[in-house]
């Protein structure tokens, strides 16, 4: 809590900062951050925005030109890593992969008002520490904290294709 001349600024521990006016006890939300650490950042090529993935399981889309949040969505598990799919006519640069501590990978479409889950799958039995697309969108790879690396075949014309290839 920080006291100003006529107000208090209060962080609630869930990532929100509130302004409480002393005169009338009016409360307004000032900003909604991640409640834990930001684990990774992805910058899609098609929009002036950045996606942050938090340890709190939230994915947030930020407009870095207007300095405001577009929207956010909370997922089960702690966020660990993210990567953007290279631009193609099919994906319009709006696909991001996100990894979580529970071994789940979620493929998200950046929509106009929310993230849409295109695909979700359990890639590992332990924490996903890295997700990465091949530059030509033909392959996708995940890595876990126990050293497993999992390769998937993908396709430019089928945004939901993640066919397992091999695990090392």
Per-residue pLDDT band at 78 (split at 50, 70, 90) = very high
C-alpha to C-alpha distance for 23 and 21, rounded to whole angstroms: 6
Distances, alpha carbon 89 to alpha carbons 42, 85, 98, 115, 155, in Å:
19, 12, 21, 19, 12
**Among the ranges given (26-40, 116-130, 145-159), the one the predictor scored with the smallest mean pLDDT:** 26-40
Element (H, E) at 59: strand 58-63
C-alpha to C-alpha distance for 161 and 164, rounded to whole angstroms: 9
- Indicate whether 85 pLDDT > 90: yes
Per-residue pLDDT band at 120 (split at 50, 70, 90) = very high
Tell me the pTM.
0.83
What's domain 36-167's architecture? 7 Propeller (2.130)
User: How confident is the model at residue 31, as a pLDDT?
Assistant: 66
- Indicate whether 15 pLDDT > 70: no
Distances, alpha carbon 57 to alpha carbons 4, 11, 46, 100, in Å:
32, 19, 24, 8
User: How confident is the model at residue 16, as a pLDDT?
Assistant: 67
Q: Where, residue-wise, is CATH 2.130.10.10 in the chain?
A: 36-167
Distances, alpha carbon 8 to alpha carbons 5, 18, 31, 32, in Å:
8, 8, 14, 16
């Amino acid at each position: 809590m920080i006291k100003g001349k006529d107000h208090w600024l209060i962080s609630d521990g869930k990532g929100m900062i509130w302004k409480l006016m002393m005169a009338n006890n009016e409360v307004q939300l000032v900003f909604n951050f991640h409640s834990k650490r930001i684990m990774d950042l992805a910058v899609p090529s098609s929009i002036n925005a950045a996606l942050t993935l938090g340890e709190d399981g939230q994915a947030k889309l930020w407009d870095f030109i207007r300095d405001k949040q577009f929207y956010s969505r909370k997922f089960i598990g702690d966020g660990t890593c993210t990567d953007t799919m290279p631009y193609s006519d099919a994906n319009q640069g709006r696909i991001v992969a996100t990894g979580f501590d529970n071994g789940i990978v979620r493929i998200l479409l950046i929509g106009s008002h929310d993230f849409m889950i295109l695909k979700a799958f359990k890639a590992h039995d332990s924490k996903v520490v890295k997700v990465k697309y091949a530059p030509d969108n033909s392959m996708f790879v995940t890595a876990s904290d126990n050293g497993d690396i999992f390769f998937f075949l993908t396709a430019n014309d089928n945004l939901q294709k993640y066919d397992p290839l091999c695990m090392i």
